[in-house]
Chains A and B, each alone.
Chain A
Amino acid sequence: MPLPDALPLPIQLAWLIPLYGFSGMVLSLPWATGWIKRNGPRPAAYLNLLMTLVAVLHGSLLIQEVLSLGPQHLDIPWFHAADLDLRIGFDLSLTNLAALELVTGMSLIGQVFALGYLDKEWSLARFFALLGFFEGAMAGVVLSSNLFMSYFLLEMLTLSTYLLVGFWYAQPLVVTAARDAFLTKRVGDVLLLMGVVALSAWAGSMEFDDLYVWAAQTPFSPLAASLLGLGLIAGPMGKCAQFPMHLWLDEAMEGPNPASILRNSVVVTCGSVVLLKLMPVVRISPVATTVLLAVGTISALGGALVAIAQVDLKRAFSYSTTSYLGLVFIAIAFEQPLLALLLLFTHGLAKALLFMSVGSVIATTNCQDLTELGGLGPRMPATTTAFLVAGAGLTGLLPLGCFWGYGLLVQTLWPQAPLLAGIVLLTNALTALNLVRVFRQVFLDVSHPKTRRAQEVNWLMALPMVSLAVLVLVTPLVIQRLDSLHSLTTFSGLTTVLVVASGSIGLVAGCLIRLDRFWSRSVIKPLRTLQDLLAYDFYTDRIYRATIVAFVSGLATLTNSVDRVLVNGLVNRIGSASMASAESLKLGVSGQLQSYVLTVLVAIVLLLGSLSWFHG
């Protein structure tokens, strides 16, 4: 270790943090592969929980040390060849460590929840192994101090998302969902890889700090800068499920709910954290910044609209994740890193809580169709409370978490781009509407056959849910504490009024709209068209199928037929032609010795002649 011994042990050993998750995976393997069959898969889950707990504790120790010593940097060489130097780097700053605590803490809470949720799952060990892998990769991403390592771990995240979404691989919808999740993210990753390779070749060092200096000093041609910037934002766009690469998150809801909790809260956070770290480089390209802003805006508004038309309990909120991350992208495009982090933090907590509440409903009723749910409020008080707290935390209405994010965002945007500020407010209203309508349908309404005998979930699910609800409730205090450091919450009275007003409009609208089953797909033609348009997500999947999928498969078919008919056909024809000529030559042989001698002589003369001509 190239560090002076004076540093405290937790800092020297910070490189262990991603390894906790990975070792959890390795420890689970005997159960996941079925080598140990005697005592069920639970030990794997406990081992994973233990490793995550260690990661959380180590993270807390790190925060203490960093608070007293200031930010630290850890650097380990990994691969060196010629002018290429790839390193493993950890940036132990307070923001990174806060993100780490969010990731590992959510992972811990999610794993406890999973123990209850997947109680009867036969391959529990595999699930926990994958969660360990997932957590290790995320913990590495948030601490990473260089682009190469971030890319490396982002791809691992892609792989583990694929495996987690495909966890119940025997179901047809899961098969397509896993495929789409992998391919969509992979497209973003390949574009990001292009950016990473280009940066590695041009800038040399991959450390973010060096890249910032390099990007500020180097003159670029507009084309190169635009391509580079677009490549760099493509990866986070895929990870954060932004339009037009948002399809996978919605489909990924086919996976087990505990993984959805993590995906909707911390995985998207990881993607944004990478984008945040890349932002000073992306800034060299105005085109990329504009695209980022446009993507964020479309996602924020589109996601909020599409969410309203969903009848699936989980999908209604996965689109809201897309929408929320769109706001984060807007904040990043306006170069407000602290604001983006605040949004991510508050959203991560509240969204995780929301998904726990939703997961409890699904676990109890075995149903996620909104039209078949109702009247759960009195039957599941803890779940209902969790939903209410999460909903309040996600909207800009009560001064819980996201209220401050909305306020600050509006405050920032108002002078520069009032239109965008309006869109943010509209998003807030639509999110509130969505939450209220789901709440009415699931928890208020009369009870349906599937919900009549519902009861509160077991303690393994209730405990993490209630703890997280308390956390969400105390976020304002955390923000207040941070406020003294960064003056985050200073926005004007007008902004407050605007945010509260937009939230109230959403609330009231959500209370007023008709929700009976017949309205979920109206007979009135224009309304129905609109409902279908939103319910099918602007038909994005069909657009994909008609364009890019058709293009690639058409090209593949074309190549294959060229290969079979043209290339292989030519080879076969040469073969049969030579066979045919041999057959006919066979008949032309006279058998006379003189003719053979003559042929040999002519051949020798020709050969020698050509050689001397060639040589001369």
Chain B
Amino acid sequence: MLSTLLLIPFLGAFVLLFWPGQPVPGRMRVVTIVVLALQLAWSLRVLLAFDPDVGGMQLQESFAWVSSIGLDYRLGIDGLSLPLVVINAALTLVSAVCTRDISQRPRIYFALLLLISGAVNGAFLAENLLLFFLFYELELVPLWLLISIWGGSERAYAATKFLIFTAVSGVLILGAFLGLALFTGTVDFSLTPVLSERLAMGSQLLLLGALLIGFGIKIPLVPFHTWLPDAHTQASTPVSVLLAGVLLKLGTYGLLRFCLGMFPEAWALLAPWLAGWAAVSVLYGSLAAIAQRDMKRMVAYSSVGHMGYILLAAAAATPVSLLGAVFQMVSHGLISALLFLLVGIVYRKTGTRDLEVLRGLLNPERGLPFTGTLMILGVMASAGLPGMAGFISEFLVFRGSLEAFPLATLLCMVGSGLTAVYFLLLVNRAFFGRMAITPASDPVADARLDIRLAAVAPRETIPAMALAVGVVLIGLFPAWLGRISEAASTTMAQLPALLASLQISGVG
């Protein structure tokens, strides 16, 4: 059942690559959308087959592949990965739908899109460290190509930066996985927690440190974040949607699954520092976002801030906070995808994303009123206003982490307040006031009243509307998502506690 989730996108990519005749962009897009719709439908089927009462892995599939080096094909799904699999299918579909003006090499573009989606699914489903690593790397090159071929004017710099950063991240992760085999002397790459009777604490800390930096680059956490704003600003809208909505989640997923899940003891030791790191990351990202002029950069820095909450939640590792981490992953995926989509619409219609230039876009007849309305919804959701997904996620994270790390949690809440500051500035500058899309320094052009932006067709806003509906639904009925993930997050949270009690009884 799970292998189908990999088969659909990979087969789709092959079909596109070997589609007979000259590729027509429209037809390629339709085929991709059909494949992705299938993938989404299958993900929902998995959702139906999923038993939310079981905390561990379900629907497992396994067959020995290269057992001599410990590489087995083992797939499984639990309450942590299931929402991400669904989000992956949905957001790839969204980014395929919102790819409209692709003229060069549509065949490769859509094939890469499918490849990424399949690889991400593989990474979320893999139950073997090496298998995870394979998929983790598999997603890297297509994304690099997507940025460096279909990106903006500085795409070469951004794409190379992305490639180097993420490759280093991959090397560190692989190093940690191999180091595990080396230190323990076995070729066991299953997801069993590594305890101190198997491995000394010093080595554990070393491996965990490598993993933390590796995933910290991917998430990204300060100071490893500089690739993200550049990649986002140069990537096209659909790629940004994918990058923010899905690929960053690989990092946080890895943080929860491999750092917290594999090294619970070392994790508990480092947790206070990690909470501090989370607070720094949140504040740094939020403050840096305030100073941005480019809307896309601002949203990118907001990602840096919002990903910090997940590190905080993981550091606290209580059932509520881990559930909050899952919520935050899902809601950040939806909200940041929504924001990038809307910024993309603004960019397409006005030709700029500069907040010093854009004014009054809410203008009813000549501006982008509906896009502006959705933008207000999106930024309010991101700022954690109740009734939308951001609030319940942040509430769970804060509520779960407060007792463990009061100071770090309070600082993160300040960061949540700062989110309101920069996103309000964005809306106020770009959408309120009198309409203008020329720099204020040019008084003649600035006073022009005849600006008339091309109307946004309803079909252009359909993906954004779908995401907005999702954001509101999760915000109003969080129990649906909670039901899926609660068992898994509780199981994960019990891991450190269980080990602690085992140790105490063992010593006693």
Contact = CB atoms under 8 A, between A and B. Distances in A.
Interface of A: 33-34, 78-84, 122-123, 151-153, 155-156, 158-159, 163, 166, 169-170, 172, 174-175, 178-179, 182-183, 186-187, 190, 193-194, 197-198, 200-202, 552-553, 555-560, 563, 567-568, 571, 575, 611, 615
Interface stretch (B88-96, B100-108, B114-122, B409-417): B409-417
A559 B410 contact: no
Given A190-B413, A197-B402, A83 B290 contact: no
A560 B288 contact: yes
Q: Closest 3 A-B residue pairs measured CB to CB?
A: A560-B291, A556-B290, A82-B319
A170 B433 CA distance: 4
Contacts of A182: 420, 424
Contacts of A170: 360, 362-363, 432-435
B398 interface: yes
A122 B435 CA distance: 18
Given A183-B424, A555-B287, A84 B385 contact: no
Nearest to A172: B433
Given A80-B482, A559-B287, A166 B364 contact: no
Contact of B291 (A84, A200, A559): A559
Q: Which of A33, A178, A198, A563 has the largest number of chain B CB atoms within 10 A? A: A563
Given A555-B287, A559-B284, A156 B402 contact: no
B386 A83 contact: no
A175 B489 CA distance: 43
A175 B425 CA distance: 10
6 contacts: A81-B482, A172-B433, A182-B420, A553-B290, A556-B287, A575-B161
Given A33-B370, A155-B386, A556-B291, A81 B320 contact: yes
B146 to A, nearest CB: 22
A175 B402 contact: no
Contact of A79 (B420, B424, B482): B482
Nearest to B485: A81
B478 interface: yes
Given A84-B320, A123-B364, A179 B428 contact: yes
B397 to A, nearest CB: 10
A190 B287 contact: no
A555 B34 CA distance: 48
Interface size grouping (class) on chain B: 35 or more
A560 B395 CA distance: 28
B288 A175 contact: no
A78 B421 contact: no
B373 interface: yes
Contacts of B391: 152, 155
Contacts, number: 142
Interface string B422-464: 0011001001111100000000000000000000000000000
B432 A563 contact: no
B368 interface: no
Interface in B295-316: none
B413 A194 contact: yes
B486 interface: yes
B434 A82 contact: no
B320 A83 contact: yes
Q: Which of A84, A158, A183, A202 has the largest number of chain B CB atoms within 10 A? A: A84
B345 to A, nearest CB: 16
B479 A78 contact: yes
Contact of B395 (A159, A197, A552, A575): A197
A581 to B, nearest CB: 15
A175 B428 contact: yes
Contacts of B493: 82
B228 to A, nearest CB: 11
Contacts of B432: 166, 169-170, 174-175, 178
Given A170-B432, A559-B284, 7 more contacts: A79-B478, A81-B486, A84-B320, A169-B362, A175-B433, A182-B424, A190-B417
Contact of B380 (A159, A174, A175, A197): A159
Nearest to A84: B320
- Mostly, the B contact residues are helix
B385 A155 contact: yes
B60 interface: no
Contacts of A560: 287-288, 290-292
B403 interface: yes
A178 to B, nearest CB: 7
A611 B185 CA distance: 13
B392 interface: yes
B386 A201 contact: no
Nearest to A193: B413
B424 A563 contact: no
B226 A563 contact: yes
Contacts of A175: 428, 432-433
Contacts of A158: 385
Contacts of B226: 563, 567-568, 571
B147 interface: no
B223 A615 contact: no
Q: Which of A81, A183, A194 has the largest number of chain B CB atoms within 10 A? A: A81
Contacts of A611: 182
Contacts of A186: 383, 417, 420
A84 B363 contact: no
Q: Which of B399, B479, B486 has the largest number of chain A CB atoms within 10 A? A: B399
B223 A152 contact: no
Nearest to B458: A35
Contact of A82 (B161, B292, B490): B490
Contact of A201 (B370, B373, B403): B403
Contacts of B225: 567
Nearest to B422: A556
Interface string B163-174: 010000000000
A84 B164 CA distance: 43
Nearest to B404: A201
A9 B432 CA distance: 45
A156 B421 CA distance: 17
Contact of A190 (B288, B360, B416, B433): B416
B424 A557 contact: no
A303 B89 CA distance: 56
Nearest to A190: B417
A158 B383 CA distance: 12
Contact of B399 (A159, A200, A559): A200
A124 to B, nearest CB: 13
Q: Which of A33, A34, A123, A175 has the largest number of chain B CB atoms within 10 A? A: A175
B421 A81 contact: no
B323 interface: yes
Given A81-B486, A169-B362, A169-B431, A190 B414 contact: yes
Nearest to A568: B226
A545 B395 CA distance: 30
Contacts of B291: 553, 556-557, 559-560
B396 interface: yes
Contact of A552 (B290, B392, B434): B290
A568 B222 CA distance: 11
B387 interface: yes
A558 B391 CA distance: 29
A528 B353 CA distance: 46
A315 to B, nearest CB: 21
A169 B161 CA distance: 40
B403 A183 contact: no
A84 B428 contact: no
Contacts of B486: 81-82
A287 B432 CA distance: 41
Nearest to A560: B291
A389 B239 CA distance: 63
B385 A169 contact: no
Contacts of A563: 226, 284, 288
A457 B210 CA distance: 74
B483 to A, nearest CB: 9
Contacts of A172: 433-434
A511 to B, nearest CB: 43
B387 A156 contact: yes
